[in-house]
Chain A
């Protein structure tokens, strides 16, 4: 079977699923809905695996498989083609999207079972998978943008999934709107970047741009910096990085599987994908790359601080997602592209797992999301507990045994040792690694240890357990496909990606060996675990919100996400609303109405003088004559 002929099936099947569910969702039997919804993604995953095996066994290094579908438009010498493009980078992404996607769809078949929007849910999810696949399979920035906006639309629809007379309808609508608007700000910056590229290269074909850019632009030339910075704007919006991170915590209003698939595993990493896909533009603009690293480092620190003090289990995970993507940005910023993609994949496994686990818990506890009302679930929900524990261990990157350790360790090492790295980046990353372990196990201990506070109303079935177990296993062993350098050279994942991505350039004299840094990272993670155990885990722990050593003001500042919402509200939202309120009637129309009013007034005034009284007319004539005579005489 020739892959270049069946590539289109991978995105098409989810699209087909969407079309069937959207048009016939209410007519087909309820039991068939998840079969279709999960089935199409599952078949895509199988085709992906076939394509992947074929790709790995046949292809020469750096090979590309393309399938041209049709010409979108062609004007003069500018073309935009609808072409699917499979290389090492997109293969990793489509694997994660279809594979993790299938598991999450399967989970949803039980999670969403009693919802009246069952088919609507699967329709949106299928549409999402389609758009995401288009995004990563495109070799044209404009087609990429189609996927990019498509996933944004699905994210919007799924955040606002519970609508109408449900109790949080207004809040959900607001969260949905916010996510669309904030990411749209980034998208607009990105499309401005496209315009610049069109003007300079007269194409949006990614391979052509990457190929010609280094010949046209010198390093750090104005246009190169501008192009990279504008594209970065798009990445910041989609990946919820500073200063466009505010939409993600609110996006948790959607059903939990949505948070797992869209707001953790796939869509929010689209920014990382974009940076990596257009890496040579960023290597041409080192000053922008520094900004990428700095934004990543600051975001990951800010977000992990916020995660420390959340009460809502999904918000902890939301902030941790922002923070983990910060690590990926950090990696991109120091030129460790393959490390970023490695962390993306491992993060997709464990974060999808954690969100699904959280979903299972929420479902079990009558939709209770406050961790301080949970507790003691360890014995009652053993499968959820163990898998959640594996996921948490990976998130906290406990040394040696978890996949998260290997992926995060690589990033920390490069942030220190790469020529673009610095000790400051490493410190922020390491401190946050400690905070990560602390908030992760705070969550675990609050949820599963101590006394049980809420009755369990739903015990998970197989459709929930199987995805959790598969993802749990991957969160532990997934890291072994890429071992650190000092463990002997076993890095098939990195080798595979390095066929198309440049490896990070290390400083010639680092001064510290990789082993020492690994030791520090390991100790920090264990320290976080130990502190969390002391505060929330052990028998006589008090488990109070105030156990974190913060004053209430600081705690609420952190919990609100460093008050960014308030800041933006004052700076942008209120002025905009005020402006539209005061000028609802349109002042320009007022001018024309004024002209009309003036004429009517004049008409009234002069028609009053036309009253048929001879005396008035005589006075008028007399006065007129007097004025005219005066003027003439005066001249």
Chain B
């Protein structure tokens, strides 16, 4: 039931905030904030109580689940379930939801009620996506994300927001349609084979192991996810949508909505179509690596801070693709960590750009410089998140990138090397953010600049704490998600374990006092 509660709180408070806002704007903001806080507390309590295992389908390790009839005639169920991956992602959603409400506290003035309604329903849609275990329900939530986001971009966005909003809408809607067709295809095929027509995830699992039909149906899902992620060559909506949104919108699309696509890859593409997914692994990783490098190059070229950050996000999403299609236990954990870490770091960078915009009224990098003198605290935070985006160890992003790339190397060393080059290019734009704004020569009068106020400190401080905590103690997330990844059936380095077994035998030989040469010979023979 807790899963339904999570959704109802968001949707209900969205409507409530809309109504209340016409009497009292600040009360509406508090309602939104409290609703999200309640959800965060609920999810955290689940996390702390940790995994009272529920059995679903053929496997245990689900933390919570609820299943009701929806439209039984068509085999649609209202089925929500939470495992480690969804737990981590919903927690991230509520945390960043709170952050985005706090960020918009002052900067959104017109139509506050409708804005909060959109934000809360958007978050509800995202939460639903992370929990839905019925394909139709999943599609329903997938579409719920779309409309509020369109409004947020168009109504509260910057100058070119109509253009950006339409572009976003067209790309995601067309790709969503592909997914709908794929879902229907899967449903019909499954029904015709087994006689039971069902949209339920657990019924559909394993119904299409391989073959060309599986391949084409997978492509339907893939298109939807690759556009939303986004990756090459479907990314062209991204810079406009990210840059023209108000910052709450940018945070939600970049940090959360793109993660629904990553989640979709892990939850649906890989388990539903294991053979077909493996068959496209090489081109998929190649596209991921190309996106990493091309995105970084584009980011470096921008003079608009928000577009720079947007392209950096595009670059980092390449790692997700590389990780998912490496099919290694390390890489899968890396993907989840990347979803969280990138969510935090990209949100923080967009927030910083918003704080700067509040002060100087532009995103133009050429009008910034030398801000450290006046805003050392903001500079310090920018340093943290700039370093996060170039993958400095000690921050969560490093753990993610390391795991993904180490996993990718196990799949193919050359492709992994290509993706790893991204670590070099990411330095160029990350340092550019930091140096251009805070270190290089001042371009303008800095008299009016004021350092962070307490609300801004709270926002950036909490993001910093979480990203460092995850960087040093990632095991907290790894542990919770491991059962979910085990279910994907990817053997962890099986060959290596065997090798090590042999090595242990050799160690035994050494201990018995055999000389080194014999051992070397043994090593060669083996």
Contact = CB atoms under 8 A, between A and B. Distances in A.
Interface of A: 22, 26, 70-78, 120, 142, 145-146, 149-150, 153, 156-157, 160, 163-165, 169-170, 172-173, 176-177, 180-181, 184-185, 187-188, 191-192, 194-196, 198-202, 211-212, 214-218, 576, 579-581, 583-584, 586, 588-589, 591-592
B102 to A, nearest CB: 22
A66 B349 CA distance: 39
B282 interface: no
A548 to B, nearest CB: 36
Contact of A592 (B236, B442, B500, B524): B236
Contacts of A191: 402, 405, 420, 423
A215 to B, nearest CB: 5
Interface stretch (B148-156, B189-197, B251-259, B431-439): B431-439
A236 to B, nearest CB: 15
Contacts of B473: 70
Nearest to A586: B298
Interface stretch (B18-26, B56-64, B69-77, B406-414): B406-414
Contact of A170 (B233, B440, B516): B440
Contacts of A187: 423
A209 to B, nearest CB: 11
B380 interface: yes
Residue from A72, A75, A160, A180 whose CB has the most chain B CB atoms within 10 Å: A75
A588 B301 contact: no
Interface string B495-526: 01101100100110000000010011011100
B235 interface: yes
B198 interface: no
A73 B192 CA distance: 46
Residue from A120, A202, A581 whose CB has the most chain B CB atoms within 10 Å: A202
Nearest to A123: B380
A21 B235 CA distance: 43
Nearest to A203: B500
A101 B499 CA distance: 44
B300 interface: yes
Given A153-B387, A583-B297, A195 B416 contact: yes
B393 A149 contact: yes
B301 A72 contact: no
Contacts of A74: 475, 478
A75 B239 contact: no
A169 B370 CA distance: 9
B399 A586 contact: no
B482 to A, nearest CB: 7
Given A214-B516, A583-B298, 11 more contacts: A72-B474, A73-B478, A76-B492, A78-B330, A165-B441, A184-B424, A202-B496, A580-B297, A580-B298, A588-B232, A588-B235
Contact of A580 (B301, B410, B424, B431): B301
Contacts of B321: none
Q: Which 3 A-B pairs have the closest CB atoms?
A: A76-B492, A580-B301, A164-B370
Contact of A72 (B416, B428, B475): B475
B392 interface: yes
B373 interface: yes
B424 A77 contact: no
Interface string B361-395: 00000000110110010001001000100101110
Given A184-B424, A584-B302, A202 B497 contact: yes
Given A165-B442, A195-B405, A150 B394 contact: yes
- Give the size category of B's interface with A: 35 or more
A170 B442 CA distance: 10
B301 to A, nearest CB: 4
A355 B36 CA distance: 56
23 contacts: A22-B380, A72-B399, A73-B478, A75-B330, A75-B482, A75-B492, A163-B440, A165-B441, A169-B440, A176-B431, A177-B431, A177-B435, A181-B428, A188-B423, A198-B410, A199-B406, A202-B496, A212-B503, A215-B520, A580-B298, A580-B300, A586-B239, A588-B233
A26 B373 CA distance: 12
B17 interface: no
Nearest to B236: A589
Contacts of A149: 392-394, 398
B441 A170 contact: yes
B8 interface: no
Interface string B436-450: 001111100000000
A77 B493 contact: yes
A195 B333 CA distance: 16
Interface in B417-468: 417, 420-421, 423-424, 427-428, 431, 435, 438-442
Given A173-B439, A583-B298, A184 B423 contact: yes
A218 B497 CA distance: 20
A23 to B, nearest CB: 9
Given A75-B482, A184-B424, A215-B520, A199 B370 contact: no
Contacts of A150: 392-394
Given A163-B372, A165-B442, A202 B500 contact: yes
Given A170-B441, A195-B409, A215 B503 contact: yes
Residue from A173, A187, A579 whose CB has the most chain B CB atoms within 10 Å: A173
A74 B475 CA distance: 7
B239 A160 contact: no
Interface in B164-222: none
Contacts of B239: 586, 589
Contacts of B390: 184
B440 A173 contact: yes
Given A163-B370, A202-B493, A215-B522, A195 B406 contact: yes
Contacts of B31: none
A580 B507 CA distance: 53
A583 B299 CA distance: 11
Given A73-B399, A160-B435, A78 B424 contact: no
Given A70-B473, A146-B394, A196-B413, A165 B370 contact: yes
A212 B503 CA distance: 7
Nearest to A579: B297
B329 interface: yes
A165 B406 CA distance: 43
Contacts of B474: 72-73
B403 interface: yes
A585 B521 CA distance: 59
A589 to B, nearest CB: 4
B398 to A, nearest CB: 8
Interface in B222-236: 232-233, 235-236
Contacts of A78: 330, 492-493
A580 B410 CA distance: 32
Contacts of B373: 164-165
A156 B370 CA distance: 16
A181 B429 CA distance: 11
B232 to A, nearest CB: 7
Contacts of B233: 588, 591
A373 to B, nearest CB: 27
Nearest to B166: A596
B184 to A, nearest CB: 27
Nearest to A592: B236
B523 A588 contact: no
